[in-house]
Amino acid sequence: MPARPIVNMSSPRGTLVPIGFILAASCSGPEPFREGVRVSDQLMPRDFDVAEGVLVTRLVDDLTGTPIVGAEVFLVNESSTPIAGEFWYLVRAVSDAEGIARIELPSWARSAGWQVVRHPSCGVASRMEPEPIWRLGRGFDVPVRITDWLGRPAAGAHIGFCGGCGHTPDVVNAVADAEGLAVLRGIEPKNDIADLYVQHPGLHYFYQSVDWLPGAPPMEVQCEYAPAMSGKVVDRHGAPVAGAYVCGGSQHRGPWARCAADGTFVVLGADPPTYPHIVVTPQGRKIYFDTSTAWPVTLRLPDLTDPRVHEGIVEQAIAEELPVEVREVRVEVTGAPGPVELGSWFPDLTRREVPEPADGHVNVPVRGPFRLGVSSANDPDSVTRWTVFADAASVADPIVVPWCPDVPVVGRVVDAAGRPRAARVRWCDHKSEVPGTAGRQWIACPDGTFQVTAKPGLRLLEVEEAERTLRSRLLWVSVPEPGAAERIDLGAVQLSASPQLRFLGDDGAPLRNGLAASARPGWQEAGEHCNWPLDADGCWRGADLRAGDAVRAKRDADAVPFRTLLQGDGPWTITVPSGQLTLEAFGAEGRVDALVVVGDHACEATRGTATLRGLRFGPTRLFVSAPGHRSAVVDAIVGGAPQTVRVVLPRR
């Protein structure tokens, strides 16, 4: 099968929709700082209003809050016939020297649709809901290993990363090598939507999200079986219809295929028993067909001059797929910690109902490969352990398989001198505001050594000294699938009386009652920092930190966030600023509601007033905008005393 076209994002070639104009914002450098207020005809970042006809947003680095200059921003509309590997867009803009992108909407637009951004300093990302500030995470080259349902490498498989719903395009694509390995370059792995789609004969198109952490082994992309369904679309006279779209599934992505010049098509990845059943002509006419379980299939269009006709003809006798002959076998699982649940899987395109076998038994095909699944009956979160059998004809009755245990996590708790300390450990819910409040039971380790297990994934382990004279720790642990490793050894977990991080106010006093959060590149969605409490002395009570992590602190919920990147090995002391500025916005009619943007923070000037607290001392630039008014750029010097700036916004 010929390779599917992969269209470069910066080029509109091969698009599925008409291309709008190209809008390139100036990147000549920010305006020099001149204290005062300057009125501007340029729209500044603000809440989106379709009546304005322009989407204005400021792109910032999620970890540092600094503006992203020269980023490409694409306005993308949804396609009802999306083709894997192709990128289309309506309008392209470039963020200016302040990180501001201004995207003009087509005159017919009723919303901003989807937006896609690309820049070397951030991952390729997408969003739908437009906001004044667009926080962007770092980009990573994400390795994936694509296999079929038996775990065999899928050499030559195409995989696409889609940051929107299935009606939006892939934004990054890759092809698997002989070992099934492919690398998705420069993507934001924690994008709000981070779906993967596979295209390859014999593979289901996967349709799952990226689940990978920087530095981890390749993500396993194991696809179920799906036949490649081929055919031909002809008009009512039998002539081939080039460029028609054929749908073979029922998901957002379809999947769809496009007819070649001779009218032929191949649909890859459709979920049986859904088969080619919709054709969209190059003119946009949608025609429905009875599905056929045999292919190649010829789909003949009706007389399209009659607008009332919406059904075509399948020109092939429907050859029903024969059910797979099965037999029932008993399964013995040795070494299981308790009762188990069993299941089997093998391709049966008829998807017929087969009677459930008795407990301890499964249905397997009489011949051919199959998978046997085993999980704990007492644990609803138990991971299924799969065993592959090459040929059911050679399988004995009963089938005897050993239980594959969870990977243990081991370590030993010590003090600063390396001496063992009696302690206790537990897994806890890192989404809780207070560590451990939603955690499991404590596990005592009197001599300091511990061994625990957990469901695979990123987990948070709390370690506490029994005497509680030393500070507890929270450790991120990436727990692998059962059987992936003998054990995960955390080594010596050292507890200390000193905090890893402490926050002070600019008066030198501890930041009491402050709000703190952390973020690690590639570990969480942009804008979704992990919140952690501080103690009465402003000391960190969150998860372990390391150089390169971003830390955010606020004096209270309404303060402007202060962000910094940690450098070195720590411990760290961070001083949180307390600068304050009040902005008053006026129009000809008096005070006006406005939006104020400072750095990576936006706040409402309700009834014309906004007080910004927690600002850094020194030069500060603000952008002020209000519907129907000209914008303003405010350059102010923030000092030790609160100050007020008055801004007059003339009508546009």
Residues 163 and 240 in one domain: no
- pLDDT band per the 50, 70, 90 thresholds, residue 16: very low
Residues 136 and 263 in one domain: no
249 domain residue, yes or no: yes
- pLDDT band per the 50, 70, 90 thresholds, residue 29: low
Question: What's the whole-number mean pLDDT along residues 374-392?
Answer: 93
Q: Residue 473 corresponds to which amino acid?
A: R
Q: What is the number of other CB atoms lying within 10 angstroms of the CB of residue 589? A: 7
For the cut 50, the answer to whether the pLDDT of residue 19 exceeds it is no
Residues 619 and 513 in one domain: no
Q: pLDDT tens across 320-359, in order? A: 677 889 999 999 999 999 999 999 999 987 766 777 888 9
Between CA 623 and CA 44 the distance in angstroms is: 6
Q: Residue 46 corresponds to which amino acid?
A: R
Residue 294: the pLDDT is 76
Residues 13 and 32 in one domain: yes
Residues 142 and 238 in one domain: no
With pLDDT > 70 as the criterion, what percentage of the chain qualifies? 93
Residues 554 and 588 in one domain: no
Q: pLDDT tens across 545-564, in order? A: 999 999 999 988 899 999 99
Residues 148 and 75 in one domain: yes
Which CATH number do you get for residue 625? 2.60.40.1120
Collapsing DSSP to helix, strand or coil, 50 comes out as helix
Residue 317: the pLDDT is 60
Query: Which of 275, 297, 314 is where one domain is finished?
Result: 314
Residues 148 and 85 in one domain: yes
Which residues, 6+ apart, have CB-to-CB distance to 2 below 8 Å?
none
508 domain residue, yes or no: yes
Least confident of 69-83, 436-450, 541-555, 563-577: 436-450
Q: What are the residues facing 624 on neighbouring strands?
A: 596, 632
Between CA 441 and CA 239 the distance in angstroms is: 71
Which CATH number do you get for residue 544? 2.60.40
Pairing of strands 140-147, 219-222: parallel
Query: Which of 576, 607, 627 is where one domain is finished?
Result: 576
Across the chain, what does the average pLDDT equal? 90
Q: Give phi and psi for 104, each to the nearest 5.
A: -80, 130
Collapsing DSSP to helix, strand or coil, 51 comes out as helix
Pairing of strands 54-61, 133-136: parallel
Q: What is the number of other CB atoms lying within 10 angstroms of the CB of residue 298? A: 17
3-state secondary structure 379-419: CCCCCCEEEEECCHHHCCCCEEEECCCCCCEEEEEECCCCC
Residue 381: the pLDDT is 82
Q: pLDDT tens across 136-166, in order? A: 999 999 999 999 999 999 999 999 999 999 9
Residue from 314, 291, 292, 301 nearest 239 by CA: 301
Pairing of strands 423-428, 457-465: antiparallel
**490 within 8 A of 450, measured Cβ to Cβ:** no
Least confident of 43-57, 79-93, 235-249, 459-473: 43-57
Residues 239 and 130 in one domain: no
Residues 8 and 125 in one domain: yes
For the cut 70, the answer to whether the pLDDT of residue 3 exceeds it is no
Q: Give phi and psi for 506, each to the nearest 5.
A: -70, 0
For the cut 50, the answer to whether the pLDDT of residue 459 exceeds it is yes
Residues 551 and 585 in one domain: no
Q: pLDDT tens across 395-427, in order? A: 999 999 999 999 999 999 999 999 999 999 999
Residue 472: the pLDDT is 95
Q: Give phi and psi for 614, each to the nearest 5.
A: 90, 20
Residue 110: the pLDDT is 81
What's the number of domains the chain is made of? 4
pTM over 0.75: yes
Residues 129 and 263 in one domain: no
Residue 648: the pLDDT is 96
Q: What are the residues facing 386 on neighbouring strands?
A: 373
Q: pLDDT tens across 270-286, in order? A: 987 778 899 999 999 99
Residue 11: the pLDDT is 31
Q: pLDDT tens across 582-613, in order? A: 999 999 889 999 999 999 999 999 999 999 99
Query: Which of 280, 314, 348 is where one domain is finished?
Result: 314
What is the per-residue burial (b if ≥16 Cβ within 10 Å, else e) of 202-212? bbbbbbeebeb
> The domain containing residue 263 runs over which residues?
229-314
Residue 512: the pLDDT is 84
With pLDDT > 90 as the criterion, what percentage of the chain qualifies? 79
* Structure tokens, 622: 């603000």
